[in-house]
C-alpha cells in the first residue's frame, strides 16, 4: 500500500517536504528557549518588585499574574507560529531556503524587530480598551476582560491555523477587544458608543482595511515591472525539481522574508507587550504603575511643568472649580463629549498630580498604596489632553498650549514604558 505523503511527493517532486517529524534536538532547543524566557521573566519581575521594596502579604497577586502571563504569552506563541508561514512561504516554496532554516531565520529577524520596536503600537492597542478596564485592570472585572479577549484570540488563531486559513492575528485581537468593550458596556447598561474609543478604532480599522489593498496594488505593480524588465519565463512558473532560483532572485526572496519577519516583530510583536504591561500594572502596581527609573532631576522638571500647566489652565478657566474633577474627566474620556466641567476638571487634576509628585520627591518614592491612584490621574489627564486636541485648546495662550503638550509628553514617558526583560520574554527567537 502506497503512503499518501509519498504518493503526493511522487506526483509533485518540486514541492518542499514539510511532513518530517521534529528531531529530539529541535524539541530540546524549543524547551531550552522556553525555559530561558520563563527564567528571564521571573527574574525580571523579582528584581522589579524587590527594587520597589514591596512586601508580599498574600500570594494571590502573583497567582493571578502567573495565570495572566501564561495566557498572554500563549497568545504570543500562537501568534508567532500562526504568522510565521506568511513570512517563509515564498522562500520555502521556491527552495531558496530549507524549511527549518527559513523558520529559524525568520524567528531571529522577528526577534530583532521586537528589540528595535518603540512600544508605540503596544500602547495604541491599550488605547482601544474600555476606560474603566484600564483604570481598574486589577479588579475581577478587569481580569475577566483580559482573559476573555486573549482566550478568544487564541481559539480563533488555533482554529484558522488548524484549517490552513491565512487569517490575520491583528484583526483577531482587534475583534476580541471590540467584543469585550461592547459586552462590558451592555452589562453595565451603557450604549455601544461608550464601549471603546471609536475614534481610535476607526484609525486602526482604516489601517487594517487599507494594508491588504496597498499590498495588492504594490505587489501587482512590482510583478508587472519585473516582467517588463526580466524576460526569463522560468521565473514566473512553478519551480522544477528542488533547484533554487538564480542567485539574485534567491537573494531578493531571502531579503523580503527577512524584512517581513523584522516588520512583524517590530509591529505585531508589540501587541502582546502592551497587554502584558497592563497585566503587570493591575497585579503589581507598586513596581509597574509608574516608571521608577526616572531620575530626580527629571522628576523636578516634571513637577515644574505640571505647576505652570496647572496655573495656565486655571487662568484660562478663570479659576472655576469642579466638585469631583476625577469623575468629570473620567466621564469625558469615556464619552468623548466635552462639558463645561471638562477644562476646570483638567486644571484641578493637573494640580493634584503636581502636588502628589512634589510631596513624594520622585516616582520611585510613591507608596505602593498610592501608585494606582497617581497613575490613574496621569492616564485621565493624558487622555483628556489627547481628546481635547486643538479643538478646545486653541483659545489658550501659546505658552499654555506648549506647556500642556509638554506635560502630556512627560506623563506618557512616566506611564508608557516596557521593561527590557518583557521585550525579550515576549518574543524569543524560535
* CA–CA distance, 66 with 357 (Å, rounded to integer): 31
Ramachandran region of residue 367, left (φ > 0), alpha (ψ -120 to 50) or beta?
beta
What is the sign, positive or negative, of the torsion defined by CA atoms of 320, 321, 327, 330? positive
Contacts of 116 (CB under 8 A, 6+ apart): 262, 265, 266
* Farthest-apart Cα atoms in the chain, separation: 90
- What local confidence, expressed as pLDDT, does residue 394 receive? 67
* CA–CA distance, 355 with 155 (Å, rounded to integer): 47
Domain locations in the chain as residue ranges: 57-283, 289-415
- What local confidence, expressed as pLDDT, does residue 255 receive? 92
* CA–CA distance, 33 with 55 (Å, rounded to integer): 31
| Digitized pLDDT (tens) for each residue of the chain, 430 residues in all | 444 444 444 445 556 666 666 678 878 887 887 788 788 888 888 887 777 776 555 676 777 778 888 888 888 788 777 777 778 888 888 888 888 888 888 888 888 888 877 777 777 777 777 777 788 777 777 788 888 888 898 898 888 888 878 777 778 888 888 888 888 888 877 777 767 777 777 887 888 888 889 989 998 998 888 888 887 777 777 777 777 788 888 888 899 999 888 888 887 777 777 778 888 887 788 788 888 888 888 888 999 999 999 998 888 888 788 888 998 998 888 888 888 888 899 999 999 999 988 888 888 888 877 888 888 899 899 988 888 875 666 667 788 888 888 999 999 888 888 887 777 665 544 4
Considering the entire predicted model, what is its pTM?
Answer: 0.76
- Whole-angstrom CA distances from 223 to 6, 64, 227, 236 are 34, 51, 6, 9
Q: Which residue has 490613574 as its cell numbers?
A: 376
* CA–CA distance, 350 with 374 (Å, rounded to integer): 11
Q: Are 71 and 143 in contact (CB under 8 A)?
A: no
Cell of 374: 497617581
- What local confidence, expressed as pLDDT, does residue 162 receive? 85
* CA–CA distance, 224 with 226 (Å, rounded to integer): 5
Amino acid at each position: 500500500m502506497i503512503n499518501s505523503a509519498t504518493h503526493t511527493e511522487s506526483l509533485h517532486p518540486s514541492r518542499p517536504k514539510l511532513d518530517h517529524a521534529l528531531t529530539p534536538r529541535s524539541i530540546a532547543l524549543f524547551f531550552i528557549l522556553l525555559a530561558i524566557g520563563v527564567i528571564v521573566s521571573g527574574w525580571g519581575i523579582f528584581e522589579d518588585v524587590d527594587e520597589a521594596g514591596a512586601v508580599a502579604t498574600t500570594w494571590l497577586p502573583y497567582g493571578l499574574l502567573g495565570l495572566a502571563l501564561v495566557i498572554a504569552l500563549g497568545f504570543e506563541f500562537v501568534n508567532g507560529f500562526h504568522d510565521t508561514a506568511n513570512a517563509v512561504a515564498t522562500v520555502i516554496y521556491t527552495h531558496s531556503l530549507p524549511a527549518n532554516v527559513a523558520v529559524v531565520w525568520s524567528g531571529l529577524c522577528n526577534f530583532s524587530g521586537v528589540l528595535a520596536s518603540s512600544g508605540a503600537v503596544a500602547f495604541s492597542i491599550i488605547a482601544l480598551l474600555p476606560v474603566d478596564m484600564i483604570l481598574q485592570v486589577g479588579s475581577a472585572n478587569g481580569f475577566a476582560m483580559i482573559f476573555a479577549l486573549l482566550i478568544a484570540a487564541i481559539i480563533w488563531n488555533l482554529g484558522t491555523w488548524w484549517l490552513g486559513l491565512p487569517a490575520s492575528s491583528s484583526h483577531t485581537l482587534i475583534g476580541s477587544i471590540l467584543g469585550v468593550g461592547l459586552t462590558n458596556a451592555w452589562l453595565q447598561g451603557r450604549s455601544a458608543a461608550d464601549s471603546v474609543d471609536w475614534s481610535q478604532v476607526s484609525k486602526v480599522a482604516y489601517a487594517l482595511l487599507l494594508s491588504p489593498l496597498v499590498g495588492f496594488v504594490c505587489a501587482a505593480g512590482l510583478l508587472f515591472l519585473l516582467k517588463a524588465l526580466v524576460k526569463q519565463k522560468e521565473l514566473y512558473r512553478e519551480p522544477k525539481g528542488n533547484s533554487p532560483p538564480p542567485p539574485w532572485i534567491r537573494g531578493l526572496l531571502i531579503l523580503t522574508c527577512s524584512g517581513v519577519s523584522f516588520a512583524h516583530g517590530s509591529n505585531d510583536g508589540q501587541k502582546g507587550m502592551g497587554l502584558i504591561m497592563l497585566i503587570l500594572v493591575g497585579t503589581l502596581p507598586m513596581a509597574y504603575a509608574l516608571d521608577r527609573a526616572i531620575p530626580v532631576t527629571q522628576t523636578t522638571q516634571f513637577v515644574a511643568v505640571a505647576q505652570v500647566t496647572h496655573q495656565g489652565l486655571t487662568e484660562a478657566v478663570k479659576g472655576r472649580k469642579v466638585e469631583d474633577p476625577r469623575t468629570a474627566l473620567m466621564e469625558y474620556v469615556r464619552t468623548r463629549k466635552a462639558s463645561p466641567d471638562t477644562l476646570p476638571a483638567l486644571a484641578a487634576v493637573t494640580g493634584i498630580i503636581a502636588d502628589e509628585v512634589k510631596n513624594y520627591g520622585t516616582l520611585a518614592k510613591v507608596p505602593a498604596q498610592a501608585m494606582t491612584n497617581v497613575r490613574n490621574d496621569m492616564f485621565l489627564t493624558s487622555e483628556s489632553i489627547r481628546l481635547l486636541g486643538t479643538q478646545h485648546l486653541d483659545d489658550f495662550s501659546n505658552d499654555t498650549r506648549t506647556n500642556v503638550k509638554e506635560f502630556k509628553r512627560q506623563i506618557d514617558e512616566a506611564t508608557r514604558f516596557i521593561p527590557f526583560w518583557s521585550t525579550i520574554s515576549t518574543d524569543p527567537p524560535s
